Structure 1
């Protein structure tokens, strides 16, 4: 029987550190993944939902755990592997977002669109 692979706890860290890790690395990772993840707008909306103090704690925990996996470059399939690097991240993000989708509101999506528009303007400007 094959042993399931879970990210090294030293890399991901304890749950308490997820929010700080996500906040410090999120936008850098988004810039790298923007063309690799077709639903990046929903990922950014999930980020704003996780930051929202009105979001239930269990939803915030789920999102921060998934987003922490997303921002850590050395996971099951390292992000630098051309063409495949974000495929494991996509799986984790789709699952987490699917579980909490009803909590990601229009205000989170509006904030996400505005942030992605700013990133696009930075890239072209």
Structure 2
């Protein structure tokens, strides 16, 4: 994926677009995260980003960028459909890496702690 395409995907969007993306992300995130666990080597950071995106104290633009990346991640049909074995999450990884690199300073220790607990729960099958 080229930088222009990723930049377009990561546009924070309007308040309406953010609400819509948040609904989509909330509905599909955990199912997608479980499926992607072996394909996304930095899933802990993705989950911390999820908690950051849902945190009302996170700045609007940062939330928008994260929600855009997470919405792309949870949608099964994107540039490379997620069901294609071995390739399905490669475009998602590029988008997520770009978003996380752009907003890394906004992910707090509380977001990372929530992610650690969530990963422990996923590992135990909850």
For normalisation by structure 1, the TM-score amounts to 0.86
Distance 1:92 1:44 in 2: 14
Q: Are positions 1:33 and 2:20 aligned together?
A: no
Q: How does 1:90-101 map to 2 (within 5 A)?
A: 90-101=93-104
SS in 2 for 1:122: coil
Shift >3 Å, 4+ stretches: none
Whole-Å Cα distance in 2 between the matches of residues 42 and 31 of structure 1? 14
Superposition RMSD in Å: 1.6
With the length of structure 2 as denominator, give the TM-score of the two structures. Answer: 0.85
Q: CA deviation at 1:17?
A: 1.0
Residues 1:48 and 2:51 are matched in the alignment: yes
Q: Structure 2 CA distance, aligned partners of 1:23 and 1:116? A: 17
Show structure 1 runs of 5+ residues with no match. 8-13
The answer for the alignment partner of 1:11 in structure 2 is: none
Query: Structure 2 residue aligned with 1:84, among 82, 87, 92?
Result: 87
The aligned runs of 1:1-125 (5 Å cut-off) are 15=17, 16-122=19-125
Q: Shift of the alpha carbon at 1:122?
A: 1.2
List gaps (5 residues or longer) in structure 2: 10-15
Total equivalences in the alignment: 113
